Amino acid sequence: MKKLLLCFLVFTSSFFLPGCWDRIEVNDIALIMGVAIDKKDDNLIEVTVEIISPGLEGGQSNGAGGGVGKTVTRSAVGVNMAEALEKLQERLPRKVFWGHSEIIVISEKLAEEGLLNHIQFFFRHREPRIRAYLFIAKDQAKEVMALLPPIEPTSAEVLREMSVHETLLGVTLLEFMQMAEGESRASALPMIQILPPSKERSGMETIAYISGSAIVKEGKMIGTIDDVVTRGLKWIRNETHHGNLSVKPIEEEGYVTGTIVHADTELIPRKDNNQWTITVKSNIAVEITINETTLDLGLPKNIETLQNSFENQIEQRMKITLDQVQKKMKADVFEFSRAIEVAYPKDWEAMKEDWDIIFPTIEVTFDTNADVTRRGQVQKYE
Protein backbone atom coordinates (compact mmCIF):
# COMPACT_ATOMS: atom_id res chain seq x y z
CA MET A 1 0.00 0.00 0.00
CA LYS A 2 2.79 2.39 0.92
CA LYS A 3 4.56 1.63 -2.36
CA LEU A 4 1.41 2.36 -4.35
CA LEU A 5 0.90 5.64 -2.45
CA LEU A 6 4.52 6.65 -3.10
CA CYS A 7 4.19 5.87 -6.80
CA PHE A 8 0.97 7.87 -6.95
CA LEU A 9 2.59 10.91 -5.30
CA VAL A 10 5.60 10.76 -7.62
CA PHE A 11 3.35 10.49 -10.66
CA THR A 12 0.98 13.29 -9.67
CA SER A 13 3.78 15.66 -8.59
CA SER A 14 5.04 15.76 -12.17
CA PHE A 15 1.97 17.80 -13.13
CA PHE A 16 3.16 20.58 -10.80
CA LEU A 17 6.65 20.75 -12.34
CA PRO A 18 6.24 22.75 -15.57
CA GLY A 19 9.97 22.83 -16.20
CA CYS A 20 11.54 25.62 -18.24
CA TRP A 21 8.85 26.15 -20.82
CA ASP A 22 9.00 29.95 -20.47
CA ARG A 23 12.76 30.28 -20.12
CA ILE A 24 14.74 33.04 -21.84
CA GLU A 25 18.32 32.13 -22.56
CA VAL A 26 21.05 34.63 -21.74
CA ASN A 27 22.10 34.65 -25.36
CA ASP A 28 18.59 35.74 -26.34
CA ILE A 29 18.53 39.04 -24.46
CA ALA A 30 20.04 42.47 -25.12
CA LEU A 31 21.08 44.18 -21.88
CA ILE A 32 20.33 47.91 -21.94
CA MET A 33 23.07 49.73 -20.01
CA GLY A 34 22.12 53.30 -20.88
CA VAL A 35 19.44 55.22 -22.74
CA ALA A 36 19.50 58.66 -24.34
CA ILE A 37 16.46 60.72 -25.33
CA ASP A 38 16.66 63.55 -27.88
CA LYS A 39 14.09 65.86 -29.39
CA LYS A 40 13.36 65.50 -33.11
CA ASP A 41 11.26 67.62 -35.41
CA ASP A 42 7.46 67.32 -35.64
CA ASN A 43 6.98 66.57 -31.93
CA LEU A 44 8.95 63.34 -32.15
CA ILE A 45 11.64 62.01 -29.86
CA GLU A 46 14.65 59.82 -30.70
CA VAL A 47 15.60 57.09 -28.24
CA THR A 48 19.12 55.66 -28.38
CA VAL A 49 20.21 52.71 -26.25
CA GLU A 50 23.63 51.37 -25.36
CA ILE A 51 23.53 47.59 -25.44
CA ILE A 52 25.97 45.08 -24.05
CA SER A 53 24.86 41.65 -25.13
CA PRO A 54 25.88 38.43 -23.34
CA GLY A 55 28.31 36.57 -25.56
CA LEU A 56 29.71 39.69 -27.23
CA GLU A 57 33.43 40.15 -26.73
CA GLY A 58 35.66 43.18 -27.17
CA GLY A 59 36.10 44.10 -30.79
CA GLN A 60 32.46 44.22 -31.81
CA SER A 61 31.57 47.14 -34.07
CA ASN A 62 29.92 50.08 -32.36
CA GLY A 63 26.45 50.69 -33.78
CA ALA A 64 27.11 54.41 -34.20
CA GLY A 65 29.47 53.61 -37.03
CA GLY A 66 32.77 54.74 -35.59
CA GLY A 67 35.58 52.97 -33.76
CA VAL A 68 35.69 49.59 -32.09
CA GLY A 69 34.05 48.88 -28.77
CA LYS A 70 32.32 46.36 -26.54
CA THR A 71 28.84 47.80 -26.98
CA VAL A 72 26.28 48.38 -29.68
CA THR A 73 24.05 51.44 -30.01
CA ARG A 74 20.67 51.50 -31.73
CA SER A 75 18.17 54.34 -32.24
CA ALA A 76 14.49 54.68 -33.08
CA VAL A 77 12.06 57.58 -33.42
CA GLY A 78 8.53 57.82 -32.07
CA VAL A 79 5.88 60.13 -30.64
CA ASN A 80 6.71 58.85 -27.14
CA MET A 81 8.93 56.33 -25.36
CA ALA A 82 6.57 53.40 -25.91
CA GLU A 83 6.40 53.85 -29.68
CA ALA A 84 10.13 54.48 -30.05
CA LEU A 85 11.03 51.41 -28.01
CA GLU A 86 8.61 49.25 -29.98
CA LYS A 87 10.37 50.29 -33.20
CA LEU A 88 13.71 49.70 -31.51
CA GLN A 89 12.76 46.13 -30.64
CA GLU A 90 11.87 45.53 -34.28
CA ARG A 91 15.49 46.26 -35.20
CA LEU A 92 17.05 43.94 -32.64
CA PRO A 93 17.31 40.15 -32.89
CA ARG A 94 17.38 39.84 -29.11
CA LYS A 95 14.78 40.72 -26.50
CA VAL A 96 15.41 44.07 -24.82
CA PHE A 97 16.01 43.75 -21.07
CA TRP A 98 16.04 46.84 -18.80
CA GLY A 99 17.09 45.22 -15.54
CA HIS A 100 20.72 46.34 -15.90
CA SER A 101 20.09 49.94 -17.03
CA GLU A 102 22.43 52.33 -15.22
CA ILE A 103 21.90 55.80 -16.72
CA ILE A 104 19.27 57.93 -18.47
CA VAL A 105 20.51 60.91 -20.49
CA ILE A 106 18.13 63.63 -21.74
CA SER A 107 19.17 66.37 -24.14
CA GLU A 108 19.11 69.96 -22.93
CA LYS A 109 16.70 70.95 -25.70
CA LEU A 110 14.18 68.30 -24.65
CA ALA A 111 14.59 69.09 -20.94
CA GLU A 112 13.75 72.74 -21.57
CA GLU A 113 10.41 71.68 -23.06
CA GLY A 114 9.67 69.20 -20.28
CA LEU A 115 11.03 65.83 -19.26
CA LEU A 116 8.46 64.26 -16.91
CA ASN A 117 6.36 62.71 -19.68
CA HIS A 118 9.41 61.08 -21.21
CA ILE A 119 10.77 59.45 -18.06
CA GLN A 120 7.50 58.13 -16.60
CA PHE A 121 8.05 54.97 -18.66
CA PHE A 122 10.93 54.05 -16.37
CA PHE A 123 8.58 54.15 -13.39
CA ARG A 124 5.61 52.39 -14.91
CA HIS A 125 7.47 49.55 -16.62
CA ARG A 126 8.45 46.74 -14.27
CA GLU A 127 11.99 46.18 -15.63
CA PRO A 128 13.90 49.53 -15.49
CA ARG A 129 15.82 50.35 -12.33
CA ILE A 130 14.52 53.41 -10.49
CA ARG A 131 18.00 53.83 -9.02
CA ALA A 132 19.51 54.48 -12.43
CA TYR A 133 21.24 57.87 -12.60
CA LEU A 134 19.69 60.77 -14.51
CA PHE A 135 21.66 63.36 -16.54
CA ILE A 136 21.11 66.32 -18.85
CA ALA A 137 23.37 66.48 -21.93
CA LYS A 138 24.52 69.89 -23.15
CA ASP A 139 24.38 68.68 -26.75
CA GLN A 140 22.72 65.65 -28.30
CA ALA A 141 22.24 62.88 -25.77
CA LYS A 142 22.76 60.11 -28.35
CA GLU A 143 26.38 61.20 -28.83
CA VAL A 144 27.14 60.07 -25.29
CA MET A 145 25.93 56.54 -26.02
CA ALA A 146 28.20 56.26 -29.07
CA LEU A 147 31.44 57.01 -27.20
CA LEU A 148 34.13 54.37 -26.69
CA PRO A 149 35.58 54.84 -23.20
CA PRO A 150 39.30 54.00 -22.93
CA ILE A 151 39.02 52.50 -19.41
CA GLU A 152 35.47 51.45 -18.52
CA PRO A 153 33.58 48.99 -20.77
CA THR A 154 30.59 51.30 -21.40
CA SER A 155 29.69 54.98 -21.32
CA ALA A 156 26.95 54.10 -18.86
CA GLU A 157 29.50 52.67 -16.43
CA VAL A 158 31.67 55.80 -16.73
CA LEU A 159 28.83 58.11 -15.69
CA ARG A 160 27.59 55.74 -13.00
CA GLU A 161 31.03 55.67 -11.39
CA MET A 162 31.27 59.48 -11.50
CA SER A 163 27.89 59.77 -9.80
CA VAL A 164 28.85 57.31 -7.08
CA HIS A 165 32.02 59.29 -6.33
CA GLU A 166 29.84 62.39 -5.63
CA THR A 167 32.43 64.92 -6.79
CA LEU A 168 29.47 66.92 -8.09
CA LEU A 169 25.80 65.91 -8.20
CA GLY A 170 24.63 62.34 -8.49
CA VAL A 171 20.84 61.99 -8.77
CA THR A 172 18.92 58.77 -9.26
CA LEU A 173 15.60 58.54 -11.05
CA LEU A 174 13.88 57.88 -7.72
CA GLU A 175 15.46 60.93 -6.05
CA PHE A 176 14.52 63.17 -8.94
CA MET A 177 10.88 62.11 -8.92
CA GLN A 178 10.65 62.54 -5.15
CA MET A 179 11.83 66.16 -5.48
CA ALA A 180 9.84 66.88 -8.65
CA GLU A 181 6.63 65.69 -6.99
CA GLY A 182 7.44 67.24 -3.61
CA GLU A 183 6.14 70.49 -2.18
CA SER A 184 8.78 72.62 -3.93
CA ARG A 185 8.40 70.84 -7.31
CA ALA A 186 12.04 71.72 -8.05
CA SER A 187 15.20 69.70 -8.41
CA ALA A 188 18.76 69.82 -9.72
CA LEU A 189 20.30 67.38 -12.18
CA PRO A 190 23.93 66.90 -13.23
CA MET A 191 24.85 68.14 -16.68
CA ILE A 192 27.33 66.28 -18.85
CA GLN A 193 29.49 67.13 -21.81
CA ILE A 194 31.96 65.20 -23.93
CA LEU A 195 35.64 65.43 -23.04
CA PRO A 196 37.77 66.25 -26.10
CA PRO A 197 39.83 63.13 -26.96
CA SER A 198 43.61 63.13 -26.70
CA LYS A 199 45.61 63.49 -29.91
CA GLU A 200 46.65 59.84 -30.04
CA ARG A 201 43.05 58.60 -29.92
CA SER A 202 40.20 58.71 -32.40
CA GLY A 203 37.32 61.16 -32.04
CA MET A 204 35.05 58.58 -30.38
CA GLU A 205 37.59 57.21 -27.89
CA THR A 206 36.72 59.47 -25.01
CA ILE A 207 34.16 59.89 -22.22
CA ALA A 208 31.38 62.18 -21.07
CA TYR A 209 31.90 63.88 -17.73
CA ILE A 210 29.81 65.86 -15.25
CA SER A 211 30.09 69.64 -15.65
CA GLY A 212 27.70 71.88 -13.74
CA SER A 213 24.03 71.27 -13.00
CA ALA A 214 20.62 71.92 -14.50
CA ILE A 215 17.87 73.49 -12.39
CA VAL A 216 14.45 71.94 -13.05
CA LYS A 217 11.16 73.45 -11.91
CA GLU A 218 7.66 72.23 -12.68
CA GLY A 219 9.21 69.48 -14.79
CA LYS A 220 11.12 71.85 -17.08
CA MET A 221 14.75 72.92 -17.12
CA ILE A 222 14.89 76.65 -16.34
CA GLY A 223 18.63 77.30 -16.09
CA THR A 224 22.11 76.02 -15.34
CA ILE A 225 24.77 76.57 -12.69
CA ASP A 226 28.51 75.94 -12.89
CA ASP A 227 30.71 73.69 -10.74
CA VAL A 228 31.39 76.30 -8.05
CA VAL A 229 27.69 77.05 -7.55
CA THR A 230 26.93 73.33 -7.59
CA ARG A 231 29.35 72.79 -4.71
CA GLY A 232 27.56 75.53 -2.79
CA LEU A 233 24.30 73.71 -3.45
CA LYS A 234 25.79 70.48 -2.08
CA TRP A 235 26.86 72.28 1.10
CA ILE A 236 23.36 73.58 1.75
CA ARG A 237 21.75 70.20 1.01
CA ASN A 238 24.18 68.32 3.30
CA GLU A 239 25.61 66.36 0.36
CA THR A 240 29.28 67.30 0.82
CA HIS A 241 31.11 64.37 2.38
CA HIS A 242 34.62 64.78 0.98
CA GLY A 243 36.73 67.15 -1.08
CA ASN A 244 39.36 69.89 -0.67
CA LEU A 245 39.30 73.51 0.43
CA SER A 246 42.13 75.85 -0.63
CA VAL A 247 42.45 79.26 1.03
CA LYS A 248 44.95 82.10 0.73
CA PRO A 249 45.56 83.66 4.15
CA ILE A 250 45.92 87.45 4.34
CA GLU A 251 49.48 88.72 3.81
CA GLU A 252 50.62 85.30 2.60
CA GLU A 253 51.80 84.37 -0.90
CA GLY A 254 50.81 80.72 -1.12
CA TYR A 255 47.77 78.60 -0.36
CA VAL A 256 46.80 76.21 2.40
CA THR A 257 44.72 73.19 1.38
CA GLY A 258 42.63 71.09 3.71
CA THR A 259 40.90 67.78 3.00
CA ILE A 260 37.36 67.43 4.31
CA VAL A 261 37.07 64.38 6.54
CA HIS A 262 33.61 65.17 7.91
CA ALA A 263 30.86 67.62 7.02
CA ASP A 264 27.36 68.03 8.35
CA THR A 265 24.76 70.66 7.47
CA GLU A 266 21.39 71.33 9.11
CA LEU A 267 18.62 73.71 8.01
CA ILE A 268 17.01 75.50 10.95
CA PRO A 269 13.88 77.56 10.11
CA ARG A 270 12.63 80.38 12.30
CA LYS A 271 9.62 82.70 12.13
CA ASP A 272 9.83 86.26 13.44
CA ASN A 273 6.97 88.71 12.84
CA ASN A 274 5.84 86.86 9.69
CA GLN A 275 9.38 86.94 8.31
CA TRP A 276 10.91 83.53 7.73
CA THR A 277 14.62 82.91 8.27
CA ILE A 278 16.61 79.78 7.47
CA THR A 279 19.88 79.25 9.33
CA VAL A 280 22.34 76.98 7.52
CA LYS A 281 24.34 75.38 10.31
CA SER A 282 27.48 73.59 9.13
CA ASN A 283 30.19 71.68 10.99
CA ILE A 284 33.31 70.68 9.08
CA ALA A 285 36.39 68.74 10.10
CA VAL A 286 39.49 69.40 7.98
CA GLU A 287 42.96 67.87 7.75
CA ILE A 288 45.75 70.07 6.36
CA THR A 289 47.42 68.43 3.37
CA ILE A 290 49.30 71.34 1.73
CA ASN A 291 50.84 74.46 3.24
CA GLU A 292 52.58 76.74 0.73
CA THR A 293 52.72 79.69 3.15
CA THR A 294 55.13 80.66 5.91
CA LEU A 295 52.48 80.11 8.58
CA ASP A 296 53.64 77.99 11.51
CA LEU A 297 50.77 75.54 11.98
CA GLY A 298 52.06 74.70 15.43
CA LEU A 299 50.72 78.04 16.68
CA PRO A 300 47.06 78.09 17.79
CA LYS A 301 46.50 81.61 16.41
CA ASN A 302 47.48 80.43 12.90
CA ILE A 303 45.13 77.45 13.13
CA GLU A 304 42.35 79.82 14.15
CA THR A 305 43.15 82.02 11.14
CA LEU A 306 42.89 79.04 8.82
CA GLN A 307 39.61 77.91 10.36
CA ASN A 308 38.12 81.35 9.82
CA SER A 309 39.33 81.30 6.21
CA PHE A 310 37.73 77.90 5.60
CA GLU A 311 34.46 79.11 7.13
CA ASN A 312 34.44 82.26 4.99
CA GLN A 313 35.05 80.31 1.81
CA ILE A 314 32.24 77.86 2.51
CA GLU A 315 29.80 80.66 3.33
CA GLN A 316 30.81 82.58 0.21
CA ARG A 317 30.05 79.53 -1.94
CA MET A 318 26.62 79.18 -0.38
CA LYS A 319 25.86 82.90 -0.81
CA ILE A 320 26.70 82.74 -4.53
CA THR A 321 24.44 79.70 -4.90
CA LEU A 322 21.54 81.36 -3.10
CA ASP A 323 21.89 84.50 -5.21
CA GLN A 324 21.59 82.54 -8.45
CA VAL A 325 19.10 79.83 -7.53
CA GLN A 326 16.91 81.40 -4.83
CA LYS A 327 16.84 85.04 -5.94
CA LYS A 328 17.07 84.71 -9.74
CA MET A 329 15.68 81.28 -10.63
CA LYS A 330 13.31 81.11 -7.63
CA ALA A 331 13.65 77.33 -7.44
CA ASP A 332 13.67 75.63 -4.05
CA VAL A 333 16.19 72.91 -4.81
CA PHE A 334 17.47 73.29 -1.23
CA GLU A 335 14.27 71.80 0.28
CA PHE A 336 13.62 74.81 2.52
CA SER A 337 9.96 73.85 2.18
CA ARG A 338 10.64 70.47 3.74
CA ALA A 339 12.53 72.04 6.67
CA ILE A 340 9.62 74.40 7.42
CA GLU A 341 7.03 71.64 7.02
CA VAL A 342 8.80 69.47 9.59
CA ALA A 343 9.43 72.26 12.13
CA TYR A 344 6.19 74.23 11.65
CA PRO A 345 3.55 71.90 10.13
CA LYS A 346 0.58 74.20 10.84
CA ASP A 347 2.30 77.25 9.40
CA TRP A 348 3.31 75.27 6.34
CA GLU A 349 -0.28 74.25 5.59
CA ALA A 350 -1.26 77.93 5.60
CA MET A 351 1.61 79.10 3.39
CA LYS A 352 2.31 76.26 0.94
CA GLU A 353 -0.05 77.59 -1.74
CA ASP A 354 1.99 80.81 -1.83
CA TRP A 355 5.40 79.12 -1.56
CA ASP A 356 6.62 80.37 -4.95
CA ILE A 357 6.09 83.94 -3.70
CA ILE A 358 7.45 83.39 -0.19
CA PHE A 359 10.56 81.36 -1.07
CA PRO A 360 12.60 84.17 -2.72
CA THR A 361 11.94 86.45 0.27
CA ILE A 362 13.33 84.06 2.89
CA GLU A 363 16.39 85.43 4.65
CA VAL A 364 19.27 82.97 4.95
CA THR A 365 21.91 83.20 7.68
CA PHE A 366 24.95 81.03 8.30
CA ASP A 367 26.45 79.36 11.33
CA THR A 368 29.64 77.69 10.09
CA ASN A 369 32.22 75.97 12.26
CA ALA A 370 35.40 74.60 10.69
CA ASP A 371 37.74 72.55 12.85
CA VAL A 372 41.29 71.67 11.79
CA THR A 373 41.68 68.20 13.29
CA ARG A 374 45.13 67.38 11.90
CA ARG A 375 47.96 69.70 10.87
CA GLY A 376 50.36 67.18 9.36
CA GLN A 377 53.91 66.18 10.28
CA VAL A 378 55.55 69.41 9.09
CA GLN A 379 54.24 72.52 10.87
CA LYS A 380 56.06 75.17 8.84
CA TYR A 381 57.07 75.26 5.18
CA GLU A 382 60.47 76.84 4.59
Q: What CATH code is carried by the domain that includes residue 269?
A: 3.30.300.210
Are residues 174 and 238 part of one domain? no
Are residues 280 and 187 part of one domain? no
Give residue 310's pLDDT: 93
Are residues 254 and 147 part of one domain? no
Answer whether residue 7 is part of any domain. Answer: no
Assess contact for 118 and 83: CB atoms under 8 A. Answer: no
Are residues 279 and 215 part of one domain? no
Give residue 325's pLDDT: 96
Answer whether residue 174 is part of any domain. Answer: yes
Are residues 135 and 263 part of one domain? no
Give residue 105's pLDDT: 95
Are residues 87 and 214 part of one domain? yes
Are residues 275 and 318 part of one domain? yes
Are residues 270 and 174 part of one domain? no
Give residue 35's pLDDT: 94
Are residues 255 and 158 part of one domain? no
Of 225, 257, 283, the residue that ends a domain is 225
Are residues 252 and 211 part of one domain? no
Answer whether residue 101 is part of any domain. Answer: yes
Express each pLDDT in 351-381 by its tens digit: 989 999 999 999 999 999 999 988 766 555 5
Which residues does the chain have with pLDDT short of 70? 1, 8-26, 53-70, 201-203, 376-382
Q: How far is CA 359 from the centre of its chain?
A: 24
Count of structural domains, the chain: 2
Are residues 42 and 74 part of one domain? yes
Q: How far is CA 137 from the centre of its chain?
A: 12
**DSSP one-letter string for 320-354:** HHHIIIIIII---TT-HHHHHHHH-HHHHHHHGGG
Structural domain of 268? 228-382
Are residues 175 and 274 part of one domain? no
pTM of the full structure:
0.85
Give residue 65's pLDDT: 36
